[in-house]
Amino acid sequence: MTLDFEKIIEIVRLAAAAVAVAFGMFAPALGISHLAGKALEAIGRNPEASGKIQTTMILAIAFVEALGIFALVVSFIILFG
């Protein structure tokens, strides 16, 4: 059984897309969990500032989540580009 050049390229494309999504979603997941944990610690230490802490945390989570969406877009470009 021999693999022709097109099949090898397709296998590499699929692997590259899988790696892009895996690493691209792993890092934002760690970042979001770290942000939420630190925000909960800050609220526990200073409950009066919970509104400001929560607003800042949600904004930071949105920015971190954008990195995961970029990784998803890159994987789609690899697959269908």
Q: How many domains are there within the chain?
A: 1
Percent of residues in the chain assigned helix, strand, coil, to nearest 5: 95, 0, 5
CATH number at residue 64: 1.20.20.10
Residue 3 has pLDDT above 90, yes or no: no
Q: pLDDT tens across 38-77, in order?
A: 999 999 999 999 999 999 999 999 999 999 999 999 999 9
Residue 32 has pLDDT above 70, yes or no: yes
Q: What is the dihedral of CA 10, 13, 15, 21, to 10 degrees?
A: -140
8 within domain boundaries = no
Q: What pTM was estimated for this model as a whole?
A: 0.74
Which residue, 38, 25, 19, is CA-closest to 66? Answer: 25
The domain containing residue 62 runs over which residues? 32-81
